[in-house]
Amino acid sequence: MIPIKILLIILSIVFNAQTAFAEKQARYLFGALSLPSKQSPNAFGSYSKGCLAGGEEMLESGPTWQVMRLSRDRNWGHPDMITLLKNLSKSVAKKTSWNGIYIGDISQPRGGPMISGHASHQLGLDADIWMLPAKNLNLTQARRESISSINIRSKNKKTTNSNWTNEHVDVLKIFAKDPSVDRIFVTAPAKIYMCKHEVGNKDWLQKIRPYWGHNFHFHVRIKCPKDSKLCKTQKPSVQYLSKGGTGCDETLNWWITKALEPVKIDPKKDKPKQKKHPTEYMMNELPPQCMSVLNNK
């Protein structure tokens, strides 16, 4: 029988080790894993503060898609997202001149914060689709590392450029009309263009949300899976943001006017405290279930 004193020392060592582990930056722990957890599929937490159990790999190539930047190992997602990408890539190939889609980042094998880049993509419920039309689906791995997407925004950041086509509209429409899609982030000029030129039923435009940095790709976010009870739905909803309409209102002009003006800094005022970026979260700041996801063998 182990003496109580020795047992207490052992328990203290274990406790201190666990505490130190919990205080480590989550991005380095999740970023070091190359395989998903052997658990039932589940998304824990929010899109920018969570993790993914039982992730599924998006195969590097398929009949209507190719995954880009394979070296990042970010082609993992919740099975709902993987199914969506496979199905909608078929629709794109069928309804447009594109042969499918080029897929950028989805998530890491177990989700969580990434070592660099995205604030979101932590639940396996986000995916980036390149603006570059997928004409060639036989790209080598090396080519997928070197090729770049295309910019569909003009230099003055106020309009779309000649790279933008009606087929981009068709592709976005295919994704937006899927009921499992919560919202799609795209550069503001693209949303403005669609608001001005789209005819007929524009209800699908409610899901198209203007946001910075989405002129080389658009970002698809799906709703929390029904069986992921601890997944947090994003708020406010697109219905609220769009005031129950399409979002094609005067607020869009802010993105190409005031938002582009230089920020004026008052030297007399204290600088606002910077919020912690999601890539800097410690393990103990994520949902407690993420420790189990991380440690699962």
Consecutive H or E run containing 190:
helix 188-197
pTM of the predicted model, to two decimals? 0.89
CA dist 23 to 5, 27, 107, 110, 269, Å?
27, 12, 23, 19, 33
CA dist 268 to 264, 265, 274, Å?
12, 9, 18
Average pLDDT for 209-216: 96
Question: How many Å apart are CA 57 and CA 203, to the nearest integer?
Answer: 32
Higher pLDDT, 158 or 274: 158
- The pLDDT of residue 4: 54
pLDDT, one tens digit per residue, over 88-119 is 999 999 999 999 999 999 999 999 999 988 89
Average pLDDT for 135-158: 97
The pLDDT confidence band at residue 5, using thresholds 50, 70 and 90, is: very low
Q: Pick the closest to residue 222 from 47, 32, 30 (CA basis).
A: 47
Provide the strand spans (E) within 187-260: 208-210, 217-222
- What's 62's DSSP letter? E
Q: Is the pLDDT of residue 38 over 80?
A: yes
- CA dihedral sign, ordered 167, 169, 173, 176: positive
Q: Is the pLDDT of residue 22 over 80?
A: no
- The pLDDT of residue 263: 78
- The pLDDT of residue 23: 54
Average pLDDT taken over every residue of the chain: 91
Question: How many Å apart are CA 76 and CA 57, to the nearest integer?
Answer: 4
Q: Is the pLDDT of residue 7 over 60?
A: no
Nearest-5° angle of CA 207, CA 185, CA 196? Answer: 65
For the chain, the structural domain boundaries read 4-261+281-295
Question: How many Å apart are CA 101 and CA 90, to the nearest integer?
Answer: 9
Calculate the dihedral angle through the C-alpha atoms of 190, 191, 197, 198, rounding to the nearest 10 degrees: 120
Average pLDDT for 123-141: 98
Return the percentage of the chain with pLDDT > 90, whole number. Answer: 83
CA atoms within 13 A on the CB side of 202: 18
pLDDT, one tens digit per residue, over 240-281 is 999 999 999 999 999 999 999 887 777 777 666 778 888 899
The pLDDT confidence band at residue 3, using thresholds 50, 70 and 90, is: low
- The pLDDT of residue 17: 38
pLDDT, one tens digit per residue, over 278-292 is 889 999 999 999 999
- The pLDDT of residue 15: 36
Question: How many Å apart are CA 175 and CA 184, to the nearest integer?
Answer: 8
CATH class of the domain whose range is 4-261+281-295: alpha beta
Say whether 235 sits in a helix, a strand or coil: coil
